C-alpha cells in the first residue's frame, strides 16, 4: 500500500490554500513542530510566545493540538471561555502583548476525548485563522501536535510560504529519527526552518550547579548541521520549568539567570530577529 497517496500514480503537489484575511496583518508566523511527542514542544511554544510578549512584541499564540490542548494550563488560562463579537472569536489576553486561542477553550468537558477526522480538524484550524480577531501582530506562534499530519499540514498551507518552522527535539536517536521528517516536511511544503531546539538536554542540578546528560546531548545540533539549518541551542531539564507550566506561569522560564532560562532566551532572540527582518521586508514592499 502507498502510505503517502491513495492514487496509484505519482503524488500530486500540494496546493497552497487561500490566506485568511485575519492573518494578513501579522508580520511573522512561527510554527512550532516536532515529529516526536513528549519532547516539550508546547512548553517551548508557550515560553517563546511569552518571551516575545515580554520583549514588547505584539504576539499571538494559537494552539491547534485538537486532541491534547495543553496551552491553557501552561499559560494559566484553564477554564476561560473566549468572548465572541458576532461570528468572530476574541482571543484571550494573557497580558497586554499576548493573545491566546486554543481548542481547550471550547471543550465543554475537558475530560472527554475529541474524536474527529481530518476534515473536521482542518475546518476548525481554518476557523481559528479566519474568524479570530488577531489584529495587528508582530508575531503569531502556532503550537502543533506531533507528527506531519492534518494539523501541521493545514496550518502551513493556510499561513503560506512565509511561515517558518521552529523544530523541537530531545537528544535521543529515537526522537532525532522522527524529527528529521519534520525538517523534510517543511522543505516539501516550501516553508523555511527557523532552527532546531534540543529540549530536555541534560538535567540542571540546583544543588551542585552542573548539568547531567540523562538522555545524552548533541543530537539536535548534529541534526541541524546535517540538515543545513540553524541550531538554536540546548534547553536543559529544570524542575522549575515544569513546575511553572503546571502552575500556569510560563513566563518564569524566560526570566532569571538559570541555564534553562538563558537557553529559552536564545530561542526568543532568534525569533525576535526573524520578526524584525519580516517587518522590514513588509515595510520595503509597502
pLDDT digits (tens, 9 = 90+) for 115-141: 888 788 889 999 999 899 999 999 999
CA distance 135 to 101: 13
Give tens-digit pLDDT for 49-68: 999 999 999 999 999 998 88
**C-alpha cell at position 33:** 513542530
C-alpha 286/C-alpha 280 separation (Å) is 10
Percent residues over pLDDT 70 in the chain: 91
Integer Cα distance of 59 and 43 in angstroms: 16
Q: What pLDDT sits at residue 4?
A: 37
pLDDT confidence of 201, banded at 50, 70, 90? confident
CATH topology of domain 21-285: Rossmann fold (3.40.50)
Q: Three-state SS for 26?
A: strand
Please determine, for residue 152, whether its predicted confidence score (pLDDT) is greater than 80. Answer: yes
Average confidence (pLDDT) over 17-27: 71
Helix axes 219-227, 173-189, angle to 10 degrees: 30
pTM score of the predicted model: 0.89
- Structure-model confidence comparison of residues 36 and 2, the more confident one: 36
**Cβ contacts of 120 within 8 Å, gap of 6 or more:** none
- Read off the pLDDT of residues 210-225 as tens digits, 9 standing for 90 and up: 777 777 778 999 999 9
Every domain of the chain and the residues it spans: 21-285
Amino acid at each position: 500500500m502507498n502510505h503517502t497517496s491513495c492514487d496509484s500514480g505519482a503524488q500530486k503537489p500540494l496546493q497552497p490554500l487561500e490566506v485568511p484575511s485575519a492573518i494578513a496583518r501579522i508580520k511573522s508566523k512561527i510554527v512550532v513542530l516536532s515529529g516526536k511527542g513528549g519532547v516539550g514542544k508546547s512548553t517551548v511554544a508557550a515560553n517563546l510566545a511569552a518571551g516575545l510578549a515580554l520583549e514588547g512584541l505584539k504576539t499571538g499564540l494559537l494552539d491547534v493540538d485538537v486532541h491534547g490542548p495543553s496551552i491553557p494550563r501552561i499559560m494559566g488560562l484553564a477554564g476561560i471561555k473566549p468572548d465572541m463579537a458576532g461570528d468572530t472569536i476574541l482571543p484571550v489576553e494573557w497580558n497586554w502583548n499576548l493573545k491566546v486561542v486554543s481548542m481547550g477553550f471550547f471543550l465543554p468537558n475537558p475530560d472527554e476525548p475529541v474524536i474527529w477526522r481530518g476534515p473536521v480538524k482542518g475546518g476548525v484550524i481554518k476557523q481559528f485563522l479566519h474568524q479570530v480577531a488577531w489584529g495587528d501582530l508582530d508575531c503569531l506562534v502556532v503550537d502543533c501536535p506531533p507528527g506531519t499530519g492534518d494539523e501541521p499540514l493545514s496550518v502551513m498551507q493556510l499561513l503560506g510560504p512565509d511561515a517558518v518552522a521552529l523544530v523541537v527535539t530531545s537528544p535521543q536517536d529515537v526522537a532525532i529519527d522522527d524529527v528529521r521528517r519534520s525538517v523534510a516536511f517543511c522543505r516539501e511544503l516550501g516553508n523555511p526552518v527557523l532552527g532546531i531546539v534540543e529540549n530536555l538536554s541534560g538535567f540542571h542540578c540546583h544543588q551542585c550547579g552542573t548539568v547531567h546528560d540523562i538522555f545524552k546531548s548533541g543530537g539536535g545540533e548534529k541534526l541541524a548541521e546535517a540538515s543545513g539549518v540553524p541550531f538554536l541551542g540546548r534547553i536543559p531539564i529544570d524542575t522549575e520549568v515544569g513546575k511553572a507550566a503546571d502552575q500556569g506561569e510560563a513566563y518564569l522560564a524566560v526570566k532569571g539567570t538559570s541555564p534553562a532560562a538563558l537557553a529559552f532566551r536564545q530561542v526568543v532572540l532568534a525569533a525576535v530577529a526573524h520578526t524584525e527582518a519580516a517587518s522590514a521586508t513588509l515595510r520595503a514592499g509597502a
